[in-house]
Chains A and B, each alone.
Chain A
Amino acid sequence: MNEKNIIELKNITVRFDGETILDNLNLSIRDGEFVTLLGSSGCGKTTTLRIIAGFLEPDEGEVFFGDKNMNGVPAHKREVNTIFQRYALFPHYNVFDNVAYGLKVRHLPKAEIEERVRDMLRLVNLEGFAKRPVSKLSGGQQQRVAIARALVLKPKVLLLDEPLSALDAKLRKDMQVELRNIQQATGITFVFVTHDQEEALSMSDTVVVMNEGRVQQIGSPVDIYNEPENAFVADFIGESNILDGVMKADYKASFSGKTFQCVDSGFAPGEAVDIVVRPEDVDIVKPEDGMLRGIVTSVTFLGVHYEIIVDIGGFKWMIQTTDYAAVGDTVGLSIDPDAIHVMKKSKYSGLYGDYSTFSDEMEEMNQMSEELAEELSEELSDSGDKEE
C-alpha cells in the first residue's frame, strides 16, 4: 500500500427525482487499499460505486483516477471492473466465454485469451468448469466466475457491489477470506460495498461509514469500532449503549446521574455529549460495589456469554458477560474509564437509545399496540360510562 491516491471523489452530489442521493461527498482511495463502503440500503454506497464505474454521472463534483479527471468518460473506457450484486453473468455463454468476454472485446490473440482464462479459472478453483453453462452453477461458483471475469482484465481497481449477499452464512465466511487473499496476492485496490458491519470490519483496511448520502466516518476497523464519531456510527457498528451525558471537565463525564472518570478531553466544560459504552465493557458486580445499580429485566444465554438487560432509572442497558444473573436481581455495574467513549452531539443524538427493543420495527409495533390499547381502554371506559 502506498500513499498515492488512485481514486478521488471531490464534492460529488447526485440528485434523482428531487431527492439528494449523494450530498457533497468527498472520498480518497489509496492504491492497493481494501476500502469498504458500509451503510444500510439507500445510504448512497452503491451510487458511489456506480459513479466510480462510470454508470452514473454526478450532477456536481469531479471524479479523478490518479490525476486524470474522469467526468464524461464512459464505463467501457475506464480501467476499473465491477462485480455485480447478482453477478450479471451472461446467461447465454458458458463459463469460459463469460470469463473471456472482456479479452475478446479487446481483440486479443486467441492463444493469449485461452491462456489467461485458464490461469484465471485455476486461481478461482474452477478449472474443470470451462464448458459448463453458467445456469448450471451453484451460487458460490457463479460468484467465482464473476470474480474471474473481472480480474482477467487485470484492472487497477475492482469494485464489488455486495457480492456476498446472496451466499449462505458459511460460504460467505469462506469467500471473505478468499477475497481478502486475492486482494493481497494481486495488490489490486478493492472498493467493496456492503451493509454487513461484521463483513466490513473483518475484511477491510479502511471502512467508510455512510448514511443519507454523506460520509459519517472514515477509518480503520479498530478506529471505527472504538472511536465512533457520532451516535449513528456507534449504533450501526456493533452493539452499544448510547446515553445522554455532560462533560464536567476534561476526563470527567457525567451520565445516569453519576460522574465517571474517562479518557476523553477537549470538550467545553458543561458541554452536552453522547456517551457510548459497549456491552462487553460492562462488568456485573455486587450492588454495593457498583458505580450504577439496576434491576435485571431479561437474560438470554448465547453460548459464549449471557446477554443481560439491566434497567437503570428507566434506561435499559445491554451487558454481555459470562457471569450469570437472574431476572429480578438487583445488580451493580462497573465500567472502566477507557470503556467510556465520549462523542460530540450530532443530528443522530437521541435517535438511538436503549435496549427496550432490538429492532426499530419492533419498537414501532410496540408503540402502535400501546396506542391501540389506550384507545381500547378509552372505549371500554366510555361504554362503561354509558351503562352506568
Chain B
Amino acid sequence: MKKAIGNIFVGIIYFLLYLPLLVMVIFSFNEGRSTSVFKGFSGKWYVELFTNSSDIGIPVRNTLFLAVLAAVIATVIGTAAAVYIYYVRSKTWKNTLNTVTNIPMMNPDIVTGVSLMLLFVFVGRLVGALNSLNFFTLLIAHITFNIPYVILNVLPKLNQTDPHLSEAAQDLGSTPTEAFFRVVLPSIMSGVTSGFMMAFTLSLDDFVISYYTTGTDFQTLPLFVFNMVKKPVKPNIYALYSIIFLLVLAVLLFTNISGAKEKRKK
C-alpha cells in the first residue's frame, strides 16, 4: 500500500517533468505554424531544419564552435590548475584557490554575466573601443564559467591516484615534466574527459551569461531562441530540440549502461 502511494507520487512528478517535453515533440510535427493549436501531422519542420533556408543554421554552428573552443581551452587550463591545486602545500593558499574556484559555481549566472560584462565595458572604455562586447568576450566568459567544472572533475581523480605516481616515474629516471605526461596525465584522463564533456554541455546550454557578454555579431542558439520567444515561436525550434532530446537520451543511456557494465566486471 505504502509502496503504491510512493509509486503514484513518483509517477506524477515524472509526468509533470516530461509534459513540456511531450508537448514539444508533438508540436514539432504540427502541420500549422502554431505551437499551441495542433492542425495535423507533418514532418515539414524537420525537413526545413536541414535546408539552407533555415534560420537556425548559423546559431547552431556558432554554438557548437563556441562550445568546442571554450571547452578545449577550459580543459587545458582547468586540468593544469587542478594539478597545481593538488600539489599546493600551503593550506591558506589552497583554501583561497578553492574559494575563488567556487565563486562562479555559487554566484547566480546573472551576476557572473553582469560582472564580466561590466569588466569588458570598463576595459573597453579605457582603451576607447566603440563596442566592447564581441565573440572574444563571449569566449572568455564561457571559459571562465567552464574552468571550475573541469577542476571539479579532475581534482577528485588526482586524489584517487597513488600520491607517489609522479615520484615513482622520477625515481625511475623521468624528469618531472616527463613524469607528468607519461604517468600522471594518463591516470587522470577519465576526469579530464568528463570535465571536458561537462564544460562542453554547459557552454552549449548557457543563455544567461552569454546574454550579457556577447556582441551583436555573434548569436548562439539559446540567444536565438530567447529573441525568438518574443514573437510566436515557429515549430522548427521544437523540431531541433526534439532531435537534441533524442541525442541526449542516447548519450545518457549509453554512458549509464557502459558504466554499469564496467561496474559489474569489477
Contact = CB atoms under 8 A, between A and B. Distances in A.
- A and B: real partners? yes
Interface of A: 53-55, 74-76, 80-82, 84-92, 101-102, 105-106, 149-150, 153
Contact of B168 (A54, A88, A92, A153): A88
B230 interface: no
Interface stretch (B1-9, B39-47, B130-138, B170-178): B170-178
Interface stretch (B74-82, B110-118, B159-167, B238-246): B159-167
Contact of A84 (B162, B173, B175, B176): B162
14 contacts: A53-B171, A74-B175, A76-B176, A81-B171, A82-B168, A84-B162, A89-B168, A92-B189, A101-B169, A101-B172, A105-B174, A105-B178, A150-B172, A153-B173
Nearest to A106: B173
**Which residue of A85, A86, A91 has the most chain B CB atoms within 10 A of its CB atom?**
A91
A76 B170 contact: yes
Contacts of A88: 162, 164-165, 167-168
B167 A84 contact: yes
A91 B161 contact: yes
Contacts of B161: 91
A81 B172 contact: yes
Contacts of A55: 167, 170
A51 B161 CA distance: 23
Given A75-B167, A92-B186, A105 B162 contact: no
B184 to A, nearest CB: 10
B173 A90 contact: no
Contacts of A101: 169, 172
Given A55-B170, A92-B187, 18 more contacts: A54-B170, A75-B167, A75-B171, A80-B171, A81-B172, A82-B167, A84-B168, A88-B164, A88-B165, A88-B168, A90-B165, A90-B186, A92-B186, A102-B172, A105-B172, A106-B173, A150-B171, A153-B172
A84 B173 CA distance: 15
Contacts of A82: 167-168, 171
B183 interface: yes
A86 B162 contact: yes
Nearest to A161: B164
A90 B168 contact: yes
**Which residue of A55, A85, A90 has the most chain B CB atoms within 10 A of its CB atom?**
A90
A377 to B, nearest CB: 44
Contacts of A149: 172
Interface string B133-149: 00000000000000000
Main secondary structure of the interface of B (DSSP, over half): helix
A82 B186 CA distance: 22
Nearest to A135: B266
A33 B16 CA distance: 75
A342 to B, nearest CB: 44
A90 B167 CA distance: 11
A76 B175 contact: yes
Nearest to A50: B167
Nearest to B175: A76
B contact residues, range = 20 to 34
A40 B191 CA distance: 36
Contacts of A80: 171
A106 B169 CA distance: 12
A102 B173 contact: yes
A88 B175 CA distance: 17
Contacts of B187: 90-92
A127 to B, nearest CB: 22
Contacts of B168: 82, 84, 88-90
A140 to B, nearest CB: 17
Nearest to B166: A88
A205 to B, nearest CB: 24
**What are the nearest 5 A-B pairs in CB distance?**
A102-B172, A88-B168, A88-B164, A92-B186, A75-B170
A90 B178 CA distance: 14
Contacts of B189: 92
**Which residue of B165, B167, B171, B174 has the most chain A CB atoms within 10 A of its CB atom?**
B171
Nearest to B178: A105
Contacts of B183: 90
**Which residue of A80, A102, A149 has the most chain B CB atoms within 10 A of its CB atom?**
A102
**Which residue of B161, B167, B183 has the most chain A CB atoms within 10 A of its CB atom?**
B167
**Which residue of B161, B165, B173 has the most chain A CB atoms within 10 A of its CB atom?**
B173
Contacts of A92: 186-187, 189
Interface in B182-232: 183, 186-187, 189
A153 B178 CA distance: 18
Contacts of A76: 170-176, 179
Contacts of B186: 90, 92
Contacts of B170: 54-55, 74-76
A92 B171 CA distance: 18
A150 B169 CA distance: 11
Contacts of A84: 162, 164, 167-168
A53 B170 CA distance: 10
A194 B241 CA distance: 62
B177 to A, nearest CB: 10
B169 to A, nearest CB: 7
Given A90-B183, A91-B187, A92-B187, A105 B173 contact: yes
A86 B161 CA distance: 11
A106 B174 CA distance: 9
Contacts of A91: 161, 187
A116 to B, nearest CB: 13
Given A75-B167, A92-B187, A105-B178, A87 B173 contact: no
A137 B56 CA distance: 54
Contacts of B175: 74, 76
Contacts of A53: 167, 171
B181 to A, nearest CB: 12
A90 B183 CA distance: 7
Contacts of A85: 164
